[in-house]
A and B are shown apart, each in its own frame.
Chain A
Amino acid sequence: MVSYPSSFVRFLFCVLALTAGLLWTPSGIALADGPPQLELPKGKECVKPTEWMRRNHMDFLKESRELAVREGVRVKSDSLKNCATCHSSREKFCDRCHAYAGVAPNCFECHHYPK
């Protein structure tokens, strides 16, 4: 008679504690819920269709780098600098998605891109 409510309370407490543990994530990596919120870019459209860019921007950048550095073909719109004219914050755009996807491009050790 006495033990029934107390074990129920204990059960409730455990359930609460467990769900809280599931819901709680360290505030720095609060990513458990869905895709990251990216800052909206300035321009109307990207240098290539958005869908395509989402999947292929790394190859796109590497190709344009190969052309610029090795062949001297400097297409202004395809340069890494140009991304910043619309995606004006690295932290709120590039980095946010990269952190979510678990990639860490080292480009910005050398290249300038606004924070």
Chain B
Amino acid sequence: MATLDRRSVLGLGGAVAAGVLLAPGVSLLAAPAEKTGASADRRWAMLIDTNRCTADCTACLTACRKENNVPLFGEPARDIHWIRKVTIRDKDQRRPTVTLPVLCNQCEHPPCVHVCPTEASFVRKDGIVLVDEHRCIGCRYCMIACPYKARSLVYHETKRTLESNPEVPIRSKGVVEKCTFCVHRLDNGLQPACVDACQKAGKEAMLFGDLNDPNSEIAKRVRTVATKTIRPDLGLKPRVHYQGL
């Protein structure tokens, strides 16, 4: 796969260069990507600390819906979720019950992209898995391929309202969509809306950054703390890491 080759070719060289360019502690995120585009030297990733995520808080979910105009139809089987909260219980009750947000895991080897017949699902140079909604024909192969249930098909027409975010498109029926790591915000130097909301809510359970930059907070944490990904046995190498799972 192209991404894999690119990464192994550029390897750590790219990462060191990025680290030198970024003054430590100034900003985790890069300058706006106007003209230059997504950089193959970056690997955007998220770290979620389940110890800090509380069952009653839904700040990330609300922020995501608002930012990305994700509609809520009120039909459990057909509702669209870019991010949802999952409760995990240990059957033997030896470990505490945890609730955690689950979103697109931005796999390094995304099965959704492999099965897409129109190349609507693709991996951007910086590793973000996206749906090009202009090409999606709504076949839903990707939804079946995704082991994280991260994708949804839009079953109904949606309307723009006064609360809609004008910066982001709404939906048309019959197109598959999912979390984009708020790519429109990333390209403008902001972090995803859910991460922002989590910080504002005082939880700081979500951390976002560039894994290829050894000085980034997330790279340090992933190096030093025991983190897990969901279903690592599938070999998809998710870039959403969990701490305390």
Contacts and interface: CB of A to CB of B under 8 A. Distances in A.
Is chain B found bound to chain A in the same assembly?
Answer: yes
Interface of A: 65, 67, 69-76, 81, 106, 109-112
A110 B38 CA distance: 24
A35 B133 CA distance: 34
A113 B145 CA distance: 35
B169 A75 contact: no
A106 B136 CA distance: 14
Interface string B153-186: 0000000100010110111100000000001000
B37 A72 contact: yes
A72 B125 contact: yes
A81 B36 CA distance: 20
B167 to A, nearest CB: 8
B122 interface: yes
Interface in B16-32: 32
A106 B36 CA distance: 29
Classify chain B: how many residues form its interface, as a range.
20 to 34
Contacts, number: 50
Q: Residue among A65, A67, A73 with the most chain B CB within 10 A?
A: A73
B166 A72 contact: no
Contact of B134 (A69, A71, A74): A69
Q: B-side binding surface: helix, strand, loop or mixed? A: loop
A87 B165 CA distance: 20
Q: Residue among A65, A72, A76, A81 with the most chain B CB within 10 A?
A: A72
Nearest to B34: A74
Contact of B38 (A65, A72, A76): A72
Given A65-B134, A110-B169, A71 B38 contact: yes
B103 interface: no
B130 interface: yes
Given A109-B172, A110-B171, A111-B169, A69 B132 contact: yes
A44 B170 CA distance: 31
Interface in B28-71: 32-38
Contact of B34 (A65, A70, A75): A75
A4 B193 CA distance: 85
Given A65-B134, A70-B132, A106-B172, A112 B164 contact: yes
